Chain A
Amino acid sequence: MDLKEKLVSSFLAFENNVDVDNPVHDIRTAAIKNFEAKGFPSKKEEAWKYTSLNSLQKIDFSIFPKMESNLEFKDVKKYFLNEIDTYKIVFVDGVYSSFLSETTHEGVDVCLMSSALNKPTYKAVIDVYFNKIACKDDSLTSLNTAFSKEGAYIYIPKNKIPKKPIEIIHFATGSEAAALLQPRNLIIAEENAELQIIERHQSLTTNEVLTNAVTEIYAAKNAIVDYYKIQNDAHSSSLIDNTYIDQKDASHVKVHTFSFGGKLTRNNLNFYQNGERIESTMKGVTIIEGKQLVDHHTLVHHIEPNCESHQDYKGIYDENATGVFNGKIIVEKLAQKTNAFQQNNNILVSDKASINTKPQLEIFADDVKCSHGCTIGQLDKDALFYLQSRGIPKKEARALLMYAFANNVLESVRIPELKTRINKIIANKLGVNLGFDL
């Protein structure tokens, strides 16, 4: 039985397990129908031209997570941002771990999707926001919607700012030979609200893990959302991340994606600008090697006038790694005075690594400034020589240059402790120890 059939036939069991009278029952049913009709995307589809899911579909994933497993805090401590105090929403094998988490309902809601879906107090919010901006056509998003049950639910009311950043961490313990996890997050920032989120997926074993996550973010007028995705997972796990962002007037949403680990990572990042004077920022650093594949697909849909979008993705590819970047900017007829900027720079370190990039513009308005740039190249030999001539060993010199290359993206990280953490990860990745923080 292939994975698709297995998923479709498991749906009934899943529905029986959760509450059939639940208002989202219809949404789930419609979603599974769409997934059944479309199936997993194949390489024949333009959006999946360079990324194949075939090998993943051959794995016999178990779909329903087991009961809460015991995970000692000391074992997983290093995955948290310990230097600062944060709210924590932690899932172990897809199940909420109350022991490791720290949630709140004081003024803001930092809690669980399952309670939001089931408790009547949240019904009004769920009715307005759940599965509204997520693409109902996309088969993998539909698959997530059909099985949506657990994840993070964050609601920041008008004029509120949570006291500390929020960490969302998904652990996989490998209690199953191969596990499919489908977290579903809903994040709502009302007018003038502001929040920072750090998201991380972490497998603790070498067993196969496939995560198909969907996150919906709603930023109301003047809201500010900072979202950091750290993708430094074990080489046996794969991640398909679908993020949908709805922005209203003068809101500012920034998403940083740091992709260092994982076997296959696919990021679908979609911004919809439903208002004026909006700013959207997407930044990413990808440093991979081995047989890793990281695929960034971004979409910015400029619907109304006077908005801006900035994209800056840097990638360094070694050994047999494959990088994909596909950035799409759509500027609607109404969206005059749009300023859209897109940049994708890549360094190929090895002859076996490859990069496929396609920065796309679709523009229907005339009074706009849109540009994209993309480069593929190597580390500057002269710069490398300069550093070596001053007594810096080649390995460190190379690492320094790579730091410099990625620095543009790191600079805009607003949590200093997080920046330090990422620097450490990069240093580890490059196998050097540099005695300074960038």
Chain B
Amino acid sequence: MAYTEEELKKELETKEYEYGFYTDIESDTFPNGLNEEVVIAISKKKEEPEWMTEWRLEAFRIWKEMEEPEWANVTYDKPDFQAISYYSAPNKKPKYDSLDEVDPELLDTFKRLGISLDEQKKLAGVAVDIVMDSVSVATTFKKTLGEKGIIFCSISEAIREHPELVRKHLGTVVPQKDNFYAALNSAVFSDGSFCYIPKGVRCPMELSTYFRINQAGTGQFERTLVVADEGSYVSYLEGCTAPSRDENQLHAAVVELIALDDAEIKYSTVQNWFPGNKEGKGGVFNFVTKRGICEKNAKISWTQVETGSAVTWKYPSCILKGDNSIGEFYSIAVTNNFQQADTGTKMIHLGKNTRSTIISKGISAGKSQNSYRGLVQVGSRAANARNFSQCDSLLMGNECGAHTFPYIEAKNSTAQIEHEATTSKIGEDQIFYCNQRGIDTEKAIALIVNGFSKEVLNKLPMEFAVEAQKLLEISLEGSVG
């Protein structure tokens, strides 16, 4: 069968969201709306100490004064923040010791998603902290981690059990007043993950959290805090899928990474929330603030595969505060139909001899808009700062758009910054070359798209690479082999 780009395009357009289903689990849901009482109630529900409640209230007060940002290259109907329920937890709530006790319906959901817990536990060696809506219901491998002194739990648990650690680090990288959505998240975050790696410990396994948005009309506000103490190493995975819904769902997460001296954090994300149907109806709004801070000789590496969400607004950033610290950002963003993505990174060079690398690949198909927005900033004291950025865009069809907005600000004469960007389509000569060597057009497109994204896919941990490929397949069915 001759497979042409037109057919691929058609297939892309008609491809429905495979993971769109809705599990009916009784939920303990708050009425819609947001005010100080709701914030206090969330805090109470979580059995939080007083300082935490105060912290949330402070964030709420800041949020009330703020306006929704308009600068991103996306258009959407603004969510009505009073029409959202800010807390929803699966109802049958006792903590489970084994998977047998978990609500069978919930387990079924995971099975259909292909992330069978027990299988993953055994085969992949991944400790999974599952967030179904907002409360973590299963945490595995805790004991193995415990032996090394690693803390990996839900953030509400961490607030209760390790208040000193949380209090010291929460909001230090993304302060409450950072931006509109970060302030909102700080006020109402329902759950998330907390991870602490003690001095000199190399985390023996990839830490992983699967997020799911489940309850209708519930915004999901996770808060993730990863602290890597001096000389430690951790690789953290985050992946998401969401059921089909008609109204837009809001997702405003905050992720904070703290890499102390000589520490290394590798943070990988696969995001595949419901992107809306092919008329552009529904889909998740994904407004995420992710930022990490590097102390001396530390390294933070962000890898992301963005295939889902109707609107994405996400800039994983690195503050290279310590001397000799390293920041990396590898991203593939795929948009199809009416999806809009405005994503990129910020590399703030403050310390001496800091280095950063940005590799961003955008693939747009259908009527989607894909933007790269990045900032490379070199402070006046950041001697010998080095940055390399590359953003490539691949366009499929002439109704989509690709945009790049790279900001580069240098204030030091020893800085070396390079930026390059290209935009192109799959070359007819490339396909012809493959055809000539007996590779049919379908395979050729697969090869080319795969090759295009390879630089980033290679950076994903083994366990995740397979899933990432799978998600690329859903978004660009038939092209990725």
Residues in chain A within 8 A of chain B (CB atoms): 46, 333, 336, 346, 348-378
Contacts and interface: CB of A to CB of B under 8 A. Distances in A.
B404 A348 contact: no
Contacts of B98: none
B14 interface: no
28 contacts: A46-B71, A333-B399, A351-B412, A354-B380, A354-B409, A354-B410, A355-B409, A356-B409, A357-B407, A357-B408, A358-B406, A360-B403, A361-B393, A361-B402, A361-B404, A363-B393, A363-B401, A364-B398, A366-B397, A366-B398, A369-B424, A372-B404, A374-B408, A374-B418, A374-B419, A376-B415, A377-B416, A377-B417
B402 A363 contact: yes
A370 B422 contact: yes
Contacts of B71: 46
Nearest to A324: B409
Interface string B162-187: 00000000000000000000000000
Nearest to A317: B413
A375 B390 CA distance: 12
Given A355-B410, A358-B408, A336 B398 contact: yes
A364 B400 CA distance: 6
Contacts of B415: 348, 376-377
| A interface SS class | strand
Contacts of B416: 375-378
A43 to B, nearest CB: 14
Nearest to B421: A372
B396 interface: yes
Given A351-B380, A363-B395, A370-B421, 8 more contacts: A46-B71, A348-B412, A351-B412, A361-B421, A362-B403, A364-B401, A366-B400, A371-B420
B400 A358 contact: no
Contacts of B160: none
Contacts of A357: 407-409
B29 interface: no
Contacts of B411: 351-354
Of B409, B413, B420, chain A has the most CB atoms within 10 Å of the CB of: B413
B413 A358 contact: no
B411 to A, nearest CB: 4
Interface in B140-156: none
Contacts of A359: 404, 406, 419, 421
Contacts of B407: 356-358
Interface residues of B, number: 35
B120 interface: no
A360 B405 contact: yes
Contact of B414 (A360, A363, A371, A378): A378
Nearest to B396: A366
A375 B419 contact: yes
B425 interface: yes
Interface of B: 71, 378, 380, 393, 395-425
B245 to A, nearest CB: 29
Given A371-B421, A371-B422, A375-B419, A362 B410 contact: no
Contact of B413 (A351, A356, A367, A368): A351
Contacts of B421: 359, 361, 370-373
Nearest to B414: A378
B396 to A, nearest CB: 7
Contacts of B399: 333
B356 to A, nearest CB: 13
Contacts of A336: 398
B362 to A, nearest CB: 10
A310 B159 CA distance: 57
Nearest to A335: B398
Nearest to B422: A371
A354 B402 CA distance: 29
A356 B397 CA distance: 34
Contacts of A350: 413
Contacts of A366: 395-398, 400, 425
Contacts of B420: 371-374
Contacts of B398: 333, 336, 364-367
Contacts of A365: 395, 398
Given A361-B423, A367-B425, A376 B410 contact: yes
B144 to A, nearest CB: 47
Contact of B403 (A352, A363, A369, A374): A363
Contacts of B414: 351, 378
A348 B413 CA distance: 5
A377 B412 CA distance: 9
Of B378, B380, B401, B425, chain A has the most CB atoms within 10 Å of the CB of: B401
A288 B416 CA distance: 20
Contacts of B417: 374-377
Nearest to B370: A363
Contacts of B422: 369-371
Nearest to A370: B423
A356 B405 CA distance: 13
A352 B402 CA distance: 35
A282 to B, nearest CB: 18
A8 to B, nearest CB: 29
Contacts of B402: 361, 363
Of A350, A352, A364, A373, chain B has the most CB atoms within 10 Å of the CB of: A364
A354 B415 CA distance: 11
A349 B413 contact: yes
